[in-house]
């Protein structure tokens, strides 16, 4: 009996893969598409973390893997070339912006327009920031929030099922190249395919490394962002946030650059589980029935390592040391941090912690680079807002943003192995939902037209 054959197999069911499959369907109604993911379909992605409890998943966490990937989490789509990846450098900045507009149109087509988009552009504030040594990064934003993101992607799934066959909770064991395409062996099926597109994101990094090595592909350097998460009085940055929901600021020095990430007015800090470590993460105010009175964000400092293993070892060593084999996150008052003394209690602190961390010394447990970057950044912020950052501001250690190592690909995302493509974050070109989705649309148009010719 001959194994089943597909024109295109997509491995990974995250945001880039979803938009790829949707575009392929629009381009060519006759192309056969198979999508495989180690996680579950969206309706079955349930974890205790969703209710603020401990992870209840067996194996990899459902909060991060499965249909829609990280798109399920907060559904925040930033439409910009200023940050979130280097797709603009690969395919052109204007093309990237046009593709991201298509991403937004598709989201709205499936109900995303319930939440209005907004812009963080503010020329007057940009000029003020530049005068104190900060650069303001701007974007158009469609912030769906977890509930609406789930609804939107569930509707997309129902449409995709009309032409795409899915295999969830399935692990691809081997991908082998043959003259007629690829032979693929999973833990429960064997099939052939003309083309393979890998969109496994960060969650599939170890698997991707194994598969690409077996195919003779070797990655280059790997980026890693680490930084302290800050929780301050909700009105502390009112003068720069009053006209925009989020302002992204960047500081550049000879020895480092640092950028604010995931700014959440009236949001909370929750625990994020990735790669065996636990980190402080921001949660949007819309996700809680009772928003907090605080504002939180992370200040990320990027570093580059010769290999993915070295980047992961560095992060896991630092954050794992803070965790101490449990879900421990260290928290320290800003004033205590500045005077190099441990925080022993937060009972009388005017900034109430939204996360139950363990009092201690962020300065002692976090490498000096990240504390130095934060101190210099906050000094510039004080000049920008014209007042002192409150000494009761809380610092949490340590947040991280992981990246895939970069594998060489052509402009159309094809690797050195013909008909093998990488999209989304595992391509090393995108680091955001919007750019990942845009890469999916870009490749979908290319493959759709190519298949139509054959």
CA nearest 65: which of 217, 171, 180, 215?
171
CA nearest 199: which of 408, 3, 424?
424
Helix residue ranges per DSSP H, 215-307? 238-241
Q: What is the pLDDT of residue 267?
A: 87
Q: How far is CA 118 from CA 82, 139, 215, 260, 296, in A?
A: 16, 9, 44, 18, 19
Q: Give the pLDDT band (50/70/90) at residue 48.
A: confident
Q: What is the pLDDT of residue 59?
A: 79
- Mean pLDDT, residues 16-41 taken together: 96
Q: Reply yes or no on whether the pLDDT at 287 is more than 80.
A: no
Polymer length of the chain = 454
Distance of alpha carbon 193 from alpha carbon 276, whole angstroms? 34
Q: What is the pLDDT of residue 73?
A: 81
Q: Reply yes or no on whether the pLDDT at 451 is more than 90.
A: no
Distance of alpha carbon 427 from alpha carbon 417, whole angstroms? 14
Distance of alpha carbon 376 from alpha carbon 94, whole angstroms? 34
CA nearest 78: which of 453, 444, 435?
435
Q: What is the pLDDT of residue 418?
A: 95
Cβ proximity of 61 and 39 under 8 Å = no
Q: Give the pLDDT band (50/70/90) at residue 430.
A: very high
Reduce the DSSP state of residue 89 to 3 states and report it: helix
Question: Quick one: three-class SS letters along 328-378?
Answer: CCEEEEHHHHHCCCCCCCCCCCCCCCCCCCEECCHHHHCCHHHHHHHHHHH
The whole-model pTM stands at 0.78
Q: Reply yes or no on whether the pLDDT at 453 is more than 90.
A: no
Q: What is the pLDDT of residue 3?
A: 83
- Mean pLDDT, residues 18-45 taken together: 95
**Cβ contacts of residue 96 below 8 Å, gap of 6+?**
81, 87, 88, 435, 438
Least confident window among 5-9, 42-46, 50-54, 268-272: 50-54
Q: What is the tens place of the pLDDT at every residue in 169-205?
A: 999 999 999 988 999 999 989 999 999 999 998 778 8
């Amino acid at each position: 009996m001959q194994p089943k054959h597909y024109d295109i197999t997509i491995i990974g069911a995250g945001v880039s893969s979803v938009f790829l499959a949707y575009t392929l369907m629009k381009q060519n109604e006759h192309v056969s598409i198979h999508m495989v993911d180690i996680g579950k379909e969206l309706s079955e992605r349930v974890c205790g973390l969703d209710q603020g409890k401990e992870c209840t998943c067996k194996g990899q966490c459902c909060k991060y893997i499965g249909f829609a990937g990280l798109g399920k989490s907060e559904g925040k789509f930033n439409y910009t070339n200023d940050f979130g990846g280097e797709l603009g450098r690969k395919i052109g900045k204007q093309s990237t912006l046009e593709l991201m507009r298509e991403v937004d149109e598709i989201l709205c087509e499936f109900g995303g327009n319930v939440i209005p988009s907004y812009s963080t552009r503010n020329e007057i504030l940009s000029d003020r920031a530049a005068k104190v040594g900060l650069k303001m990064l701007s974007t158009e934003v469609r912030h769906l929030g977890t509930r609406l993101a789930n609804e939107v992607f569930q509707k997309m799934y129902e449409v995709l099922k009309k032409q795409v066959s899915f295999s969830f909770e399935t692990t691809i064991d081997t991908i082998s190249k043959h003259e007629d395409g690829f032979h693929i062996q999973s833990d429960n099926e064997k099939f052939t395919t003309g083309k393979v597109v890998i969109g496994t994101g960060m969650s599939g990094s170890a698997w991707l490394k194994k598969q690409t090595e077996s195919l003779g592909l070797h990655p280059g350097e790997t980026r890693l962002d680490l930084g302290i998460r800050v929780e301050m009085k909700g009105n502390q940055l009112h003068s720069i946030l009053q006209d925009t929901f989020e302002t992204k600021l960047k500081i550049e020095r000879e020895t480092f650059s640092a950028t604010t990430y995931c700014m959440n007015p009236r949001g909370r800090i929750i625990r994020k589980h990735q790669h065996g470590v636990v980190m402080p993460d921001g949660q949007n105010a819309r996700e809680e029935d009772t928003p907090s009175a605080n504002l939180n964000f992370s200040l990320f400092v990027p570093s580059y390592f010769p290999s993915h293993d070295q980047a992961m070892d560095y992060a896991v060593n630092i954050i794992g040391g803070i965790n101490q084999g449990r879900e421990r996150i260290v928290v320290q008052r800003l004033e205590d941090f500045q005077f190099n003394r441990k925080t022993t209690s937060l009972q009388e602190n005017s900034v109430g912690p939204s996360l139950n961390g363990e009092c201690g010394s962020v300065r002692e447990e976090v490498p000096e680079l990240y504390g130095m970057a934060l101190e210099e950044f906050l000094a510039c912020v004080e000049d920008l807002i014209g007042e002192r950052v409150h000494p009761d501001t809380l610092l949490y250690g340590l947040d991280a943003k992981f990246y895939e190592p970069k594998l060489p690909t052509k402009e159309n995302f094809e690797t050195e192995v013909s008909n093998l493509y990488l999209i989304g974050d595992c391509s090393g070109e995108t680091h955001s939902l919007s750019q990942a989705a845009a890469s999916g649309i870009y490749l979908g148009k290319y493959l759709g037209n190519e298949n139509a010719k054959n």
